[in-house]
Homo-oligomer: A and B are copies of this chain.
């Protein structure tokens, strides 16, 4: 029988909190490297670039791991957040689409250090298949299902052109994968229970451009910028 613990550590951590936990973890790792034994919410919040009340509320969702008057034990908190995020196990990741971006990702060391192991590189282009990148040989997408099953891949990164993304997505989901990181500029259609996170650099630039334009315009709108009644 499964007992639920009602009062403390009731799961259902808010999404906003989950998104910040990696930030705290990074800040804590920095402190740990410098040998800091404990840290107050104020200092940790500063390092993570958030409000200290928000930090305390976020951490309170995981449990009561602080000591009043002292702060948080750095090592212990690293362990707790890592466990909560599932970083105590390692995750096999496959990258589909080994072009400009896929290569950069494959060569990046920052993933491995967090428990993410690149377990497969796949591409549809025969000229790319067979290339050795970061110690791995690029395999043909025909092998996609086999690679996922054989190596226990549970997270797939899609770095193919936009036109191929949905098709790749469908195939990896059919193979049982439910976590996808998508770099292609398309909205992927997925069934319930599948998590897709997207990274779109073009969107980020456009958001910057919006604010930049507003700054340049210097506050209020000039009336003549768009005269009344003008259509097209």
Q: Which residues of A are at the interface with B, using a C-beta cutoff of 8 A? A: 2-5, 9, 11, 18-19, 21-23, 25-27, 47-49, 76, 79, 84-87, 89, 91, 93, 100-101, 103-105, 107-108, 110-111, 114-116, 154-155, 178-181, 185, 187, 193, 195, 197, 199-215, 220-223, 226, 232
Contacts and interface: CB of A to CB of B under 8 A. Distances in A.
Residue of A9, A25, A107, A202 contacting most chain B CB atoms (<10 Å): A202
Contacts of A215: 178, 193
A32 B133 CA distance: 39
Contacts of A223: 2-5
State the number of copies, please.
2
B179 A208 contact: yes
A206 B104 contact: no
Contacts of A2: 220-223
B212 A179 contact: yes
10 contacts: A4-B221, A11-B214, A22-B200, A22-B203, A48-B187, A87-B209, A91-B212, A101-B108, A179-B212, A199-B199
A18 B209 CA distance: 11
Contacts of A48: 187
